[in-house]
Structure 1
Amino acid sequence: MAQNSDLYVIIILSILIVIWAISSFRRWLFAPPKYILPFDFSEAEEPEGEAVDILEEAGYEVWAGKLKIPIHIEKDDEVLGSRLFIDYIAKQHGEWYVVKVSRERMPMEWTGSGIRERLMPYWMIFGPAVKGLLYVDCMNQQVHKVTFHLGGRP
């Protein structure tokens, strides 16, 4: 009789382990992907300035400042160089944001095409690793959150 009860316990434990393994695999399979930021921020400058104060007042934690991203462009077998500047990287509630700060000589045109032309390249570089972009208007002490949704409405 003891041998039968041992066998039953082993069978029940085996069934529980198989159920646990299947449910863990399904949870892993259907979990949303975890994205990492595509650049090394160790070379970024220490975040400081009026925009950092505005972001912190708005509830954001500024992680990195003034990052230069090199861009290599090929045009007719000629290699051209350029770079894209990111003012800050901020975080709020576990979500990452690319930050651009307003410039007097380059006012923001708050139309669909104006936002697309000025801010979409930053969103395209970081893609799904960031929740969106923050545009800090130092003149008016405002933080504007911008997100892009391709192919339709959010």
Structure 2
Amino acid sequence: MDKFGDWIIMLVAAAIMVWWVFRRFDRWLHEPPGSRLRKLALAGGVEEDETVLLLREQDYEVLSGKHRISLGVVLNDGPTMPTRLYFDYLAFKDHKYYLVKMERARQPMDWTASGLRERLLVYALLFPDCEGIVIVAHDKQLKTVRFKVEAGEE
């Protein structure tokens, strides 16, 4: 009789685990677009500085600041090497999200198409729900970068 009771407990536990996995998958599958951005918006605080004031002057609502995205890189099946991507702010304007990066003196922005692609495309791919990437240039101008996939030659 003990063995029969053990099997029932095991089957009930397995059924609960299968139900839980199915619910998590279903919730992930039906997650609305932009939910990653909304989670980021709730994650970080905003310190009042001149960049935030500049963004607010241009009608951006600064939702959060100073984000770090952790990544792992594996080379030739070796150990995972940790690295990070940084962006300065997450902003909202006209019902659209924007990532904000500040141009740094140590790493000036190359304003050519290939320079922008090399530097910013990874952010557009990580956050496809963003309308664009706003760059705060040294001269306190805001420049918006958007990537558009064009039809290739066949």
TM-score, normalization by structure 1: 0.70
Aligned length: 119
Pairs within 5 Å for 1:1-154: 35-38=33-36, 40-41=39-40, 42-77=42-77, 78-127=79-128, 129-137=129-137, 139-152=138-151
RMSD: 2.0
What is the CA deviation profile of residues 83-114 of structure 1, one whole-angstrom value per residue up to 9, with x for unaligned ones? 10110000001000011011011111110011
Which letter maps to 1:82?
T
The one-letter code sitting in structure 2 at the alignment partner of 1:150 is: V
Matched residues in 1 for 2:85 and 2:66: separation? 10
- Post-superposition offset of 1:120: 1.0
What is the alpha-carbon distance in structure 1 between the residues aligned to residue 49 and residue 93 of structure 2?
19
Matched position secondary structure for 2:123: helix
For the residue of structure 2 that corresponds to 1:119, the secondary structure is: helix
- 1:19 aligned residue: none
Q: Which structure is higher in RCO with an 8 Å CA cutoff and minimum separation 6?
A: 1
Distance in 2 (CA, whole Å) between partners of 1:47 and 1:147 is 26
TM-score, normalised via structure 2 length: 0.70
Q: Structure 2: where are the runs of 5+ without partners?
A: 1-31
Corresponding residue number in structure 1 for 2:23: none
Contact 2:132 2:146 in 1 (8 A): yes
Structure 1 stretches of at least 4 aligned residues deviating more than 4 Å after TM superposition: none
Same amino acid, percent of matched pairs: 33
Secondary structure at 2:83 match in 1: strand
Which of the pair has more CA radius of gyration? 1
